[in-house]
Amino acid sequence: MNAAVCSVLAVLLASPQAAEKKPPPSPWKAEFKLALAEKDGEYVFSIAGTTNIAPDVVLRARVYAVEVVDDFRRGKREDEEPLVWEEDEGQPPHRRFQPEGGRFEETVYKFTRRPWALLYRARVHYVPRDQTDEVIKRMGDDDLSWPADLRYGTDKDYAEQMRERVKEVSEDLTAIEQLYSELRKKYEEHKKSKDVDSWKLWKAPWYDKVERLYERNKQRYNLWAVWMERQARMRIGGMGELLRRILVSCSEHVQDGREIQERIAQTFDGFHAYYEEAVEVIGIEAPLDIEKVGPLVAAYEAGVAPLRAWVEKGSADGAADDALRRARREAFTALLKLPGLLHNRKRGYAYVNETSVRFNRLLDLAEGKASADELKKALADHDAALAEFKRFAGLLPPLRK
């Protein structure tokens, strides 16, 4: 075997670890700390530290939320998510600065909303495209970065924040539903009266309410690490924009006389479908459309009322026949219409189904001439299921925990 072949075999048989050469460590360093403090009603992320990087180099400071995620190839790993994205409004996604005398101290972000109790990581980035040719000759044309971590709050703090903000999102969704219902009602009134002056007086304060809710929503964090809040920001922001557009269309009809009633009806229906989807995706309990669900539940209860009176009386005579016929005719008709109001609200179907099961059980016992105790127990079970649905729909206040 000649020397050339031996040389090739030696290369092929060499281990990957021996064949791979790690690049030499960068001579450039940045050592700093990340801080988060409340100042003048704002939560301020800042960095301060030292570096051997020259003052003519432009650096970027950025803060990330760190989350441990499951990677099907690499197992658990840390994921760094920007705290401010490029498309976010309000402040730039990163802070550009140049060190002076080997030191730097920079404010990176300011928020009016308390940050989530998470692990945060600041990075000082060297980005070649920010530099002059002279700097690139010294520093190189590879991206570089240096980290500093800060754990803000505890898991207990996070759980408490989640409780508070779920309540906050629920209140915002309820407010949006009320604004939507008010707009629809006022439009129906004014398209008949054609009172343009009254419409203008009404819509100004209504629009102000939408704007306040929309601006407050923009303070939410746009973090995948907190799914509920990101979805709330996106969905509530979208509904605020939809309400604005619907108002414009309604004004074009009421004030300008444009014949666009069909388009307006479609936008009203489209808004409510989006609202129902948002409630389900965010995972928040929010009331159904009270103006629609209220009459249906009232009709259902009216249909059950004669049967209820017969059961509560404890009678075993044939007077139940009329009560059963009315319950099957009136209560069932209303009950069958309820799923049409739920759209994407999956939790609602479970409540309606449970009410239906309990109602059928009550009917079967009444037809089978069950004992008074059995009937009263079945009625109580039915009423409990119906009460759960009414709480879900917003017709009853939630139980205190």
Domain boundaries along the sequence of the chain: 30-153, 160-282, 290-393
Quick one: pLDDT at residue 335?
Answer: 87
Instruction: Give dist(CA 209, CA 334) in Å, integer.
Output: 35
pLDDT along the chain (401 residues), means of 10: 49 46 80 97 97 97 91 80 90 96 97 96 98 96 97 93 90 92 93 89 96 94 91 93 94 88 90 84 74 88 91 69 87 86 75 90 87 90 90 74 48
pTM over 0.75: no
Quick one: pLDDT at residue 232?
Answer: 92
Quick one: pLDDT at residue 234?
Answer: 93
Q: pLDDT tens-digit profile of 91-144?
A: 999 999 999 999 999 999 999 999 999 999 999 999 999 999 999 999 999 999
> Burial letters for 353-363: b for 16+ Cβ neighbours within 10 Å, e otherwise?
ebbbebbebbb
Q: Do 30-153 and 290-393 fold alike per CATH?
A: no
Report the Cα 41 to chain-centroid distance in Å.
Answer: 25
Determine the topology of domain 290-393 in CATH.
Four Helix Bundle (Hemerythrin (Met), subunit A) (1.20.120)
Domain made up of 30-153: CATH architecture: Sandwich (2.60)
Tell me which H or E stretch contains 269: helix 261-282
CA angle, corner 114, sides to 113 and 116, nearest 5?
Answer: 120
The upper half-sphere exposure of residue 320, i.e. CA atoms within 13 Å in the direction of its Cβ, equals 21
Instruction: Give dist(CA 105, CA 47) in Å, integer.
Output: 6
Tell me the DSSP string of 286-315: ----HHHHHHHHHHHHHHHHHHHHHHHHT-
